[in-house]
Amino acid sequence: MRIIVSGGGTGGHIYPAMALIKRLKERDLIDDVLYVGTEKGLESKIVKNAGLNFKTIEIQGFKRRLTLENVKTVQLFLSSIRKSRKIIKEFKPDIVVGTGGYVSSAIVYAAHTMHIPTVIHEQNTIAGVTNKFLAHFVDKIAIAFTEATDQFSEKKKIVFTGNPRAQEVVNIQKNDRLKEFDLAADKDTVMIFGGSRGAKPINQATIETMDRFVKADYQVLFVTGRVHYDNVVKLIDEKYLNSANISVLPYIDNMPGILPDIKLIVGRSGATSIAEITALGIPAIFVPSPYVTHDHQTKNAMSVSKVGAAKLIPEAELTSDSLYEAVNEIMSDSKVQAEMSEKSKHIGVPDSADRLIKVLTELVK
């Protein structure tokens, strides 16, 4: 199979695409792959570092208000379609897959006009603007949350696959990596993590809870995000930084590798995080970012919390008390942990990449 994959802007669009490509290679189903993105996007660094064939187009998203900048957006979209058609003619793909972000709009739409099979993948409960636009033209719409079904009028095209990222992490085993961070490998651990850049409100609530976490029967792995680390360390009493019960880090490379050693995760509710957490059945406390488009992190978190696999604390209600009470309620009761874990696994999709691959292979036949 010759495949073009496109997705960019955020890791939430890129990592599912990379997981799909990885699984296709594992199953020896790829003859060649081309990733199409933008030079300025995060995908440029990630895809190039992975050693994949990478080409770029110039395109930008629409502003949400009337502005002359949108005239340039339309011009770029039209020119990017022309370049996309050239890329497609040269590469000759059997199928084109878009995983979201405005960069995928041109290449997927161009493929449709050239009668090449097309698939989009929506990771969130609330569909992005690009996928809503492309849904009218593609052959199949793969979704990661059943709630996303209502976002599309083309119901016959929809296939529930889950997020390919889930299958990438599901077989990771407990590996005692906690020792790397000066924590005990055999002690129940809570990881508090606000994303790669960190989340100031989560960090602040955690700092204010240190005096209670240091006395807990469990240990805390506090990942601040690189941009916040220095300031966070300044605000934490040195006796907590030197505690055997607490480890404070700016970031963890290969974050999925540590997940099997974690009993509870506190953090944001991005689609990739949820895919990983539910694949491994890890209880969670979600503090959704209220600043993302259409508040989709809150909708994502609600999807998991409504079945009892996670707790949801709105950022406006996050305090030292609400954080500690939620963490302690779960960590002080092994039965609650087991029930949440089982419910999390129940909604996880451990064969998500294979499900999406099935959609692709059926279209290519």
Output the known binding site.
10-12, 124, 196, 252, 297
Contacts of residue 355, Cβ cutoff 8 Å, sequence gap at least 6: 142, 159, 160, 161, 162, 349
The residue among 242, 262, 239 whose CA lies nearest residue 252 is 262
What span, in angstroms and rounded, lies between the C-alpha atoms of 365 and 361?
6
The strand pairing partners of 190, in sequence order, are 220, 264
Phi, psi of 6 (to 5 degrees): -145, 135
Alpha-carbon separation of residue 66 from 63, 71, 132 (angstroms): 7, 10, 20
Where is 95: in which H helix or E strand?
Answer: strand 95-98
The strand pairing partners of 143, in sequence order, are 122, 160
For Cα atoms 111, 116, 122, give the angle at the middle one, nearest 5 degrees: 65
Classify 147 as helix, strand or coil: helix
Q: Count Cα neighbours of 330 within 13 Å in the Cβ-side half-sphere.
A: 27
The strand pairing partners of 14, in sequence order, are none
What span, in angstroms and rounded, lies between the C-alpha atoms of 224 and 193?
6
Contact in structure between 196 and 251 (CB atoms under 8 Å): yes
Alpha-carbon separation of residue 191 from 80, 89, 170, 246 (angstroms): 42, 48, 18, 10
Alpha helices (runs of H) in the chain, residue ranges in sequence order: 11-26, 42-49, 69-91, 103-113, 129-134, 164-169, 200-207, 210-213, 229-235, 238-241, 271-280, 296-305, 320-331, 334-347, 352-364
Q: Annotated binding residues for UDP-N-acetyl-alpha-D-glucosamine, as ranges?
A: 10-12, 124, 196, 252, 297
